[in-house]
Amino acid sequence: MATGLFSSSSKKRNGAYLQASVEDQLSELREDIAALSGLLAKRGTQASKDVRAKASDMREHAEAGLGDLREHGEALLAELRDRYSVAEREVRRNVREHPVATIGAAAALGVLVAILLRR
């Protein structure tokens, strides 16, 4: 069994180093590689879980932001509709009260547009 990741495979006896057999060294390397593979698998699994959790949080945040944006857009559209209807009523009232002035203003605007288009 391996004594640790990247452990030494030589042993000291009576002050001299004796080399372990090649089979023992290979066995130790296999155990170290298996331990490293297990460690990498655990870290990969945890990293995958972390990424999924972050992606889920980001999606929820984006959905909430989209909902707020949609509500704000709908409120803005309703306000624009109200302002348009008020302006329309005001224009109609002015045309009914001052028909001659309205025709004169329309004619003046037409002449101005014609002059600008000639250039």
**pLDDT tens-digit readout, 65-75:** 999 999 999 99
68 is a domain residue = yes
The answer as to whether 76 is a domain residue is yes
What span, in angstroms and rounded, lies between the C-alpha atoms of 7 and 2?
A: 7
Give the total number of structural domains in the chain: 1
> Within a domain: residue 1?
no
Q: What is the pLDDT of residue 8?
A: 53
Sign of the CA dihedral with 82 first, then 84, 85, and 91 last: positive
Q: Please report whether residue 6 resides in a domain.
A: no
Which pLDDT does position 12 carry in this prediction? 52
Classify residue 62: in a domain, yes or no.
Answer: yes
Q: Looking at the domain assignment, is residue 9 inside a domain?
A: no
Q: Please report whether residue 3 resides in a domain.
A: no
| Full residue range of the structural domain in which residue 111 is found | 16-118
Query: Tens digits of per-residue pLDDT, 11-65?
Result: 555 544 456 688 888 888 999 999 999 999 999 999 999 999 999 999 999 999 9
CB 115 within 8 A of CB 107: no
Residue 11 lies in a domain: no
